[in-house]
Amino acid sequence: MERLQFDSEGRLVGVDNKRVAVKENPRKLMTSADLVQSAGGEIEPIFNEGWSLYEDGKKLAPLKFSNGKTQEDIVNEVVQLVKCGKKIIFIHGTCGTGKSAIALNIARELGRTSIVVPIKSLQRQYEEDYLHKKYVLKKNGHKMRIAMITGRENHDSIFIPGTSCADPYLPDTIQITPKNSEKLKEYYDGNPCIKNKIVPDVYKLRRVSIAPVNPYWSPIVSASYELKQLDDARKKRYMGLNGREFIFYHRKEGCSYYDQYQSYIDSDVLIFNSAKYKIETVLDRKPATNVEIIDEADEFLDSFANQQELNLTRLERALKQITPDDEEGRYFLDKAMELVRLEIKNKDATGVDERMIYSAGETKIKELLKMFLKPELECEIVVDEANYANHAVEAARDFEDFLEDTYVSFRKNEDNLLVEIVTTNVSEKLREMIEKNRVFIFMSGTLHSREVLEHIFGLRNFEVIEAEGINQGKIEIHRTGKEFDCKYSNLINDKRPEYLKALNVCLSKATKPVLVHVNAFKDLPSNKEIGEFELRDLISREQLLELQSDDKTGERISKFKRGLFEELFTTKCSRGIDFPGTTCNSVVFTKYPNPNVNDIFWKVLQRTHRNWYWEFYKDVARRDFLQKIYRAVRSPEDHVFVLSPDSRVLDAVRRLQTGKEIN
């Protein structure tokens, strides 16, 4: 029987130890036809089999790891722990573990499952691998039904052909403002759900007044808030989180964006990117499932330490577009608008100092977030998913249980006032998510240390299962002789020219093709410095900002992997993108990837949890370093050189080579 080899994202990279090419599919918008790929008829009864993976009708055996375990053994260990009552399980598996196949077989054993991946490219990889040639059979012999839950921008609009479902002029996305009054009147007049039409007042229009002109518009709202206007919809009920029931108002079929939510009712496995998963979880709208499997779990957990940002100026405009029917809804809306206006007025009067950090209670933000938790206001907002006020609802839900531990800072961007909201009580945020669900399985090749899991994330009663623990390939240090310790204090004393010249030497001496991990844009020279110091082998930070801003689909990365150019400067390739074989011969680090200490989260953490600050800080840097190195080392045959002007990077590589702990 042939043995299939996977990389860390579950992609097929070899059969019987022979390498095969990983094909890149060109990106295209989805249509409703793309949603039926995971469905399948009955194949064969397999009631007693513990492992299922097929490709083109041929069964594939589970991989065997260097510790003697197989993929099937890992699945069995997880299942037994769950049956014994364990709610939190970690799987440690490096490249070659085939974690995606393990995840689907866990779902096969334990029932309906949510799988979460950190970025959309990994989500697409599941789609390419398991909705086409490869598949998993359930116990009854049917193919497992797998659904990808993706955002509007991934789907083709049928209402306005040639655009995506994120087009800002669709009836379900257009801003309800006077500047769009002509188009809004057109949509209102075409709404088949309103029988006795009047001349519309833009300020009193609601989303439900215009969106039904798109026959495919099919919102999901809490069952406690019935949309009686949508009399042409089939009401499909499902149980969300926290015991809340939701209704999917499924109208005309054919739009893949709305049709995908049928999977909330009938799919075996739902695959989310982490951003979408968190939004759906915060709103309790994610269907209740038996298991939550988190791929690249350490990045997912780290994201609980991130802050949310609200544009108060934009929020004020968005709130004016909401017109509640009932008196209570109008009261809470008026109160929220007043609080936003007061905060903006206060900062206009006193000025904005971006260095200042306030407790949320010292500002109007704490009270404002509480307003968005009022069901009378929330239900009016969530019906209109295009309204910016939804961001405020998500933030309010996100910080609901720890407003006393929430901090804010303000900044101005042109004429907009923005507030950053953060809490260092990440253990409470995680606990809230865990309590909403039944079982969590976290998978990663770079798990947090046990101390960080306990101290920062508040996890105690968890188990760790070891899968493949040996990293692949060979890493070699390439010294230029120009290295020095590039910590912040060493660079403020007129050493920047020396640093830039040392980085330039790394590029000139690196064996091409070379991947350049840019830790921060300021690590690169300015346009002026390029000429001043004759840095012919570098690009400026202005160039990189422009290149990455213009590249919405990752085309630069694809071209680099195809060998169309030899140098890739990037801030975006720490996870989910692989450069195996000769697609990358050298990796350059601009600096050791320490987190930005000026970020509000780290400032607040140092103030509130001084004893654990450095423990978490070093753990984040260690895992980021390992992830960046192993982008280019994906198999035993891979070899890569590592260069950096920062001696701390080469010291860490040396410790990695000798099996010592990186600190």
Q: Which CATH number do you get for residue 484?
A: 3.40.50.300
Decide: 424 and 408 in contact? Cβ < 8 Å.
no
User: Which pLDDT score, from 0 to 100, does residue 297 have?
Assistant: 94
Query: Are 87 and 167 within one domain?
Result: no
Residue 44: its pLDDT value, please?
A: 54
Are 544 and 611 found together in one domain?
yes
- Whether residue 647 sits in one domain with residue 536: yes
Query: Is 275 part of any domain?
Result: no
Note whether 118 and 189 are same-domain residues.
Answer: no
* 3-state SS class at 117: strand
Tell me which residue range forms the domain holding 71: 4-150+433-466
> In this structure, is residue 299 part of a structural domain?
no
The pLDDT score that the predictor gives to residue 380 is 87
Which of 266, 292, 325 lies at the terminal end of a domain, its last residue? 266
User: Total domain count for the chain?
Assistant: 4
Q: Could you give the CA distance from residue 130 to residue 37 in angstroms, rounded to a whole number?
A: 9
| Residue 241 lies inside a defined structural domain of this protein | yes
Of 227, 246, 196, the residue nearest 325 (C-alpha):
227
Q: Are residues 559 and 622 in the same domain?
A: yes
Is residue 515, in this structure, part of any structural domain at all?
Answer: yes
**341: number of Cβ within 10 Å:** 14
Amino acid 160: pLDDT: 94
Specify the CATH number for the domain of residue 364. 1.10.275
pLDDT of residue 38: 52
Q: In terms of domains, do 143 and 205 share one? A: no
User: Are 324 and 234 members of one domain?
Assistant: no
Q: Are 514 and 587 in contact (CB under 8 A)?
A: yes
Show which of 242, 266, 290 is a domain's final residue.
266
Residues 591 and 551 both lie in one domain: yes
Tell me what pLDDT residue 484 has: 96
Same domain, 483 and 454: no
471 DSSP 8-state letter? P
Is 578 domain-assigned? yes
Last residue of a domain, one of 266, 283, 298: 266
Peptide bond into 178 cis (omega under 30): no
Looking at residue 197, its pLDDT comes to 82
Same domain, 118 and 176: no
Is 368 a member of any domain? yes
pLDDT along the chain (663 residues), means of 10: 42 47 50 56 57 93 94 98 97 88 97 90 76 89 93 92 94 91 94 85 88 97 91 96 97 96 97 91 95 94 86 96 88 96 95 93 96 92 90 92 92 94 89 94 94 93 94 93 93 89 98 97 96 96 94 84 94 83 96 92 90 93 93 88 98 92 81
> Both 134 and 163 in a single domain?
no
Distance set, CA 438 to CA 100, 110, 241, 349, 444 (Å): 20, 11, 10, 49, 20
The answer to whether residue 298 sits within a structural domain is no
Q: Do 42 and 123 belong together in one domain?
A: yes
